[in-house]
């Protein structure tokens, strides 16, 4: 079984285990995990976080990252608190303040922004 990096992220707070929690799993490719597995993981984490965001880099595309969101029941088009938490989590996207990107674009089922 392949191992993935998982983090519980808290949006809209400066403290740990406060605010609005979401899970995040970093994928290395679009076929790294099946949809059924994403849903199963979100279901299993349902008492811990309300949604899980799956994120992967998309080099060579018009957007920088692709995000997908799953609740316990299904894939959802967009999850605001998960997006905010993921995009502000330094453990996923950069190595220190000087390397932090100035702007992100992302592709979700909702739209490319």
75 in catalytic set = no
Question: What value, to the nearest 5°, has the Cα angle with vertex 43 and ends 41 and 45?
Answer: 70
Residue with tokens 């993981």: 41
Residue with tokens 């899970």: 23
| Burial class (CB within 10 angstroms; exposed 0-12, middle 13-18, buried 19+) of 57 | middle
From the list 51, 62, 66, 75, the catalytic residue is 51
Q: Distance (Å, rounded) from C-alpha 26 to C-alpha 79?
A: 16
Please list the active-site residues. Answer: 51
């Amino acid at each position: 079984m392949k191992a993935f990096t998982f983090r519980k992220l808290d949006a809209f707070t400066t403290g740990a285990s406060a605010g609005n929690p979401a899970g995040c799993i970093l994928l290395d490719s679009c076929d790294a995990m099946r949809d059924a597995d994403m849903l199963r993981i979100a279901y299993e984490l349902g008492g811990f976080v309300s949604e899980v965001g799956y994120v992967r880099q998309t080099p060579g595309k018009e957007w920088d990252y692709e995000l997908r969101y799953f609740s316990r029941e299904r894939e959802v088009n967009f999850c605001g608190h998960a997006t905010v938490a993921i995009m502000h989590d330094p453990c996923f996207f950069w190595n220190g303040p000087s390397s932090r990107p100035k702007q992100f674009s992302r592709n979700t089922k909702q739209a490319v922004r």
